[in-house]
Amino acid sequence: MTAYLEGHLAPVPDEISAVDLTVEGTLPEELSGRYFRNGPNPRPGEDPGHWFTGHGMIHGVRIRDGRAEWYRNRWVRTSLFTDGAAFLTDKGFDRSAVQANTHVIHHADKILALVEVGLPYEMDRELNTVGACDFGGRLTTSGMTAHPKELDGELHFFGYGFGPPYLTYHRLDAKGELVESRVIDVPGPTMMHDFAVTENHVIWLDLPVVFDFDKAGKTMPYTWSDSYGARLGVMKRTGEVTWFDVDPCYVFHVGNAREDASGRVVLDGVRYTPESFNSTWEQIGGERNPAAHLVGASLHRWTLDLATGRATERQLDDRAVEFPTFNEDRLGRSSRYLYAVTEGEVVKYDIESGASQVAPVGGHAGEAVFVPAFDARAEDDGWLMSIVDDRLLVQEAAGLETVATVRLPRRVPAGFHGSWIAD
């Protein structure tokens, strides 16, 4: 058996529904909505060749009036899932033949299942697949990142391609209309998984993991390149980009970014060294024990000075973490708290003081999504939601105390990203 089909990564064989879930503790009364989390889940008998390439499956829990009303899991029915459509055809790339397995978000009354190499797929609130979405035909480039950023009602995102244009910036307005698309010049087909925004800038991660045509059709076709270089780009809203060379590294996920009092751009992210990236890539590709895939990735900060053209880098913590999250009401602005997960634990960072606290969760810790309290008086006034094996864990964000555990009717495979979609 391949490692990404075993243990906490092992897929489930079918779709189920359950109602009136057992709740231990007390669900906050003001939590009324749905927690959805996406991740790869190949069908029985399928070996997708890499953890990242299984069909998307969304697991959902409906919460209302202090009750967990239902759980259900549904595959995202892309054309790849329903028809076996090939992503690469004699006519080029079919942007709808994707796995849609990485994230699920809500914007402008649409729920979108996302993967960065193709079109998003719209879902309804019961997790039925509506279909591929190209925003009225206006999204004509390769696809949509799995990590869009919503700032002041607008959704900023990008797509990257295997051929020119390698990187394109896009912006949706509050109504979900695609109102801007702009090509960004980068030297090659970099795998750009995430990016950041501030009040006045977009930050690009042009890093040395690039598309490898020799691997296409065999496995996840990306590889580390010693010759590509590593740089961060700060783009003004007018489109001008200032590039900063940085030490070779890779970043799957960023935390928040902001502009400080001196006008410098400050970015926090989880940084992989070349060695830790290659080790991780082998592990999640099934070559080694995937339980160790977080080793070597730690929280760092880059400060980018537009006045001097100088970039500085500082390690904020030495423990292995991933999936950084924060109160997204502070997106692009100054924020104090950052949350992350490590093996069996949720970690809370106080970025101002440098302090951190840890809460063991008794299982494989999934991404902890921050849900703000309705009348929040502090940045960390709210809850963290995460799936831990066969449980949905609800913690107070201020002190990481568990206030409720929702017992799910089955183990949920370790996956990627999710969202709280409030009523």
Cα–Cα dist 100/132, whole Å: 10
Please tell me whether 193 is known to bind a ligand: yes
Q: How far does CA 135 lie from the centroid of its chain?
A: 21
Nearest to 94, CA basis, from 48, 54, 142: 142
Please give the full DSSP string across 317-354, using - where no structure is assigned. Answer: --S--EEEE--GGGTTS---EEEEEETTEEEEEETTT-
Please give the full DSSP string across 193-218, using - where no structure is assigned. Answer: ---EE-SSEEEEEE-SEEE-GGGTTT
Strands of the sheet containing 297-305, edge to edge, are 250-259, 265-272, 297-305, 310-315
What are residue 56's DSSP bridge partners? 40
Do the bridges between strand 33-40 and strand 418-422 make them parallel or antiparallel, or are there none, so unpaired? Answer: antiparallel
Residue 373, SS3 per DSSP: coil
Cα–Cα dist 296/14, whole Å: 35
Residue 227, SS3 per DSSP: coil
Are the C-beta atoms of 76 and 101 separated by less than 8 Å? yes
How does DSSP classify residue 82?
H
Residue 253, SS3 per DSSP: strand
Cα–Cα dist 307/311, whole Å: 11
Please tell me whether 417 is known to bind a ligand: yes
Task: Please report, in range form, the residues annotated as the binding site for Fe cation.
Answer: 147, 193, 253, 417
Residues at the annotated binding site? Answer: 147, 193, 253, 417
